[in-house]
Amino acid sequence: MNNKERMSIPPQAMPEQKPEIRAHNMQEVALGYSAEMAKLEATRCLNCPTRPCVQGCPVAIRIPEFLAKTAEGDFAGALAIIKETSLLPAVCGRVCPQEKQCQLFCTVGKIHKDVDKAVAIGRLERFVADWGRENLQKAVPTLPPKTGKRVAVIGSGPASITCAADCARAGHEVTMFEAFHKCGGVLVYGIPEFRLPKAIVQQEIDGLQELGVKIKRNYCVGLTRNVSDLMTKDGFDAVFVGTGAGLPKFMDIEGENLNGVFSANEYLTRANLMKAYCEGEVDTPFWHGKKVAVLGGGNVAMDASRMALRLGAEKVYLIYRRSEVEMPARREEIHHAKEEGVEFLLLQNAKRILGDSTGKVVAIECLKYELGEPDASGRRSPVAIPGSEFTLDVDTVIVAVGNASNPLIPATTDGLEVNRRGNIVVNPETNMTSIPGVFAGGDIVLGAATVILAMGEGRRAAAGINAWLAAKQDK
């Protein structure tokens, strides 16, 4: 097939649950390609000699090669190529912001002058990963001889999963410590089931255990045991800190302490991890807001607003002080939230939250904004319009204006250098911190970022740990 013929193939739309149905259930919104759709979509790839899509991928997956295998129907071959560089393709295929990464650079999208018409690399990654899970026999991992070295991995998000797997594959004895009762980090407590089924994450955790990784859940490092104890008292030779950015930021406005105001983290953790949506089956208390205001414009805000709908809200407002162009959320999530009925109030922001005499939220007062000059992030900064106040009746306010690094490990580890934002400072080549033998990666280093970047950090840190331990062995 020549390039003209490839260009004439229409983009394959992703089958999805209908908005009016899915807004009231927890099942996955996107249903995935069929094998025929996947082959056709992959055939749209022009196999560009300059490979711009690969440059847009944070872990440099050999995209044209995996697409060529997919187009041929060799899905096992495609998966093998992806797995050379990505440990979590079923996760990344679902949650990566491809429209800002590989697909943004895709020649097909550029020719059509529409990124939505780029080859659907993410959807194909998801298809291939799901096909592998359903059709391939799980290979029993072959492990190298034991090195006798012990590695502690703190946290169990994508950075830690990747680091633990790579260290175990190098023959080290790895123990993972997770503060919650379930492993997976944001993949289980933040991103909802309707975007990322928890069974997929659990399979990755099972895979770690098959590699021999020991897992200690309900174990918060920094309380009874700190990083130094792990090394001096418990005999670990190296430690990886992947504790993420789970500290919610607030607006610092009047009324934020009222009943009915939540951080998106708490709201989503109760709903996802504590399964509050399984009413009658679990004891998790939950606040059933009927009129909900969500403050923010990122993925967390989209997840919180869509979750509120699924938990019975009759009206959900998403209030964001810039315009849609500046929204950091994935385009697909914005589109899905709108389709499901979330009302976007753009260029508006909360000024204060109003309560009744019992301390419960009854309304939110907002201000209108306009866009001024670009700020340090390059985005035009929002400027409040004096006298534009208006009030919305709501009974729930969910604050999703960002997260900061978890402070516990820095606060309990002497000599651990952090920057002014509280992120751990690392050597960019090895991910080693200011303490020899202690490594870090993911959101605790980058600040709230993405799954794929966290995975990349975990991989680099594991390489750093393996080199560090090898050097120690040689001495």
Member of 42, 170, 276, 409 binding ligand FAD (CB under 6 A):
409
| Residue ranges in 104-143 that form contacts with ligand SF4 under rule CB under 6 A | 106-108, 119, 121
Expressed in angstroms, the distance from the first to the final Cα of the chain is 58
Answer yes or no whether residue 418 interacts with ligand FAD by CB under 6 A.
no
Least distance in Å: CB of 121 to ligand FAD?
14
Member of 3, 17, 47, 228 binding ligand SF4 (CB under 6 A):
47
Stretch that binds ligand SF4, among 41-49, 198-206, 350-358, 452-460 (CB under 6 A): 41-49
- The position carrying tokens 């759709």 is 37
Q: Which pair of tokens denotes residue 166?
A: 């790579």
H-helix or E-strand spanning residue 450? none
Please state whether beta strands 348-355 and 361-374 pair in parallel, antiparallel, or not at all (unpaired). Answer: antiparallel
Stretch that binds ligand FAD, among 16-24, 131-139, 273-281, 401-409 (CB under 6 A): 401-409
Least distance in Å: CB of 101 to ligand SF4?
12
The DSSP annotation for 436-453 comes to: TTEEE-THHHHSS--HHH
Cα dihedral 265, 271, 276, 277, rounded to 10, equals: 160
Answer yes or no whether residue 221 interacts with ligand FAD by CB under 6 A.
yes
Distances (CA, A) of 64 to 119, 125, 186, 221, 399: 10, 12, 30, 43, 41
Site size toward ligand SF4 (CB under 6 A) is: 15
H-helix or E-strand spanning residue 404? strand 403-404
Least distance in Å: CB of 139 to ligand FAD?
25
Q: Which pair of tokens denotes residue 158?
A: 């994508």
Answer yes or no whether residue 58 interacts with ligand FAD by CB under 6 A.
no
Least distance in Å: CB of 69 to ligand SF4?
13
Member of 150, 330, 336, 460 binding ligand FAD (CB under 6 A):
330
Site size toward ligand FAD (CB under 6 A) is: 40
CA-atom Rg of the chain in angstroms: 23
Q: Give the Cα separation of 124 and 133 in Å (integer).
A: 14
Beta-carbon count within 10 A of 134 CB: 7
Q: How far is CA 146 from the centre of its chain?
A: 33
Shortest CA distance to 167 belongs to which of 179, 176, 157?
Answer: 176
Answer yes or no whether residue 48 interacts with ligand SF4 by CB under 6 A.
yes
> Toward ligand FAD, which CB reaches closer, 147 or 450?
450
> Toward ligand FAD, which CB reaches closer, 155 or 355?
155
Judged by beta carbon distances under 5 to 8 A according to partner kind, the member of ligand FAD, ligand SF4, none in contact with residue 433 is none
Member of 106, 129, 154, 392 binding ligand FAD (CB under 6 A):
154
Answer yes or no whether residue 220 interacts with ligand FAD by CB under 6 A.
yes
Stretch that binds ligand FAD, among 117-125, 344-352, 376-384, 443-451 (CB under 6 A): 443-451
Q: 40 φ, ψ to 5°? A: -65, -45
> Toward ligand FAD, which CB reaches closer, 119 or 221?
221
Q: Give the Cα separation of 259 and 69 in Å (integer).
A: 54
Binding site for ligand SF4 (CB under 6 A): 45-48, 51-53, 63-64, 67, 106-108, 119, 121
